[in-house]
Amino acid sequence: MGCGHRQILARFRITDQAHHEGRQESGCIRGPNQECSRGTEYSLGCLCDSVACHCHGIGVNIFFSDLSGIAGLAISLALQNTLSNIISGILILSDRVLRLHDSIEYSGVKGKVVKIGLRATWVKTDSGDIAIISNNYLANGPLVNFTASERLERKLRL
C-alpha cells in the first residue's frame, strides 16, 4: 500500500483548496456543504491512516479507544448547557411552574409568557419586546410568577 493513501488525500486537499479559493473570489460564503467536505476529508484521512498502520502491523485499537473517549468528553462538555436547559424545561413544564400568559418577573424582565420551549421561555415585555430566557436560569433563579400567586389564592379560598 505504501504512501498511496497519502497521494489520494493530498489530491483531495488540493482539489478542495482550489474549489474553496474559487468560491472566495466569487464572493460566496463557506456553507454547511463545505464544512461537511472538510469533515469528510478528516474522516478519510483517519481511515487511510488506520489502514496504513494496520498494514504495517501497528495496532490502532488503543488509539481509537482513546480518541473515542476524548470525543465523548468533548461532546458532553459541548452539550452541557443545552442538556441543562432541556432538563430544566421539562421540569418547568411538568411542575407547571409557568403557564402560557402568566405574568412573571425574572432578573428585571417583567412581562407575559408567550412560549415555553424545551430550551428557553419567551416573555413579551410591557414595552412589546420579546425576552428569551434560558430555562436553566428560570429554574435556578429568583422567578416571580404573579399569575401563579393569584391561582394559589383562588385555590386557598375554595
62 or 3, which is more confident? 62
Q: Is the Cα dihedral 95, 99, 104, 109 positive or negative?
A: positive
How does pLDDT run across 55-102, given as a tens digit for each residue? 777 776 766 777 778 888 888 888 888 889 889 989 888 888 889 999
Could you say which DSSP state residue 31 is in? Answer: -
Which CATH architecture does the domain made up of 97-157 adopt? Roll (2.30)
Which grid coordinates are listed for 121?
A: 421561555
pTM tops 0.75? no
* pLDDT beyond 60 at 30: no
Query: What percentage of the chain has pLDDT greater than the value 70?
Result: 70
Q: Other C-beta atoms within 10 Å of 116: how many?
A: 19
* Distance from C-alpha of 76 to C-alpha of 129, rounded to nearest angstrom: 34
DSSP string, 99-139: -TT-EEEETTEEEEEEEE-SSEEEEEETTS-EEEEEHHHHH
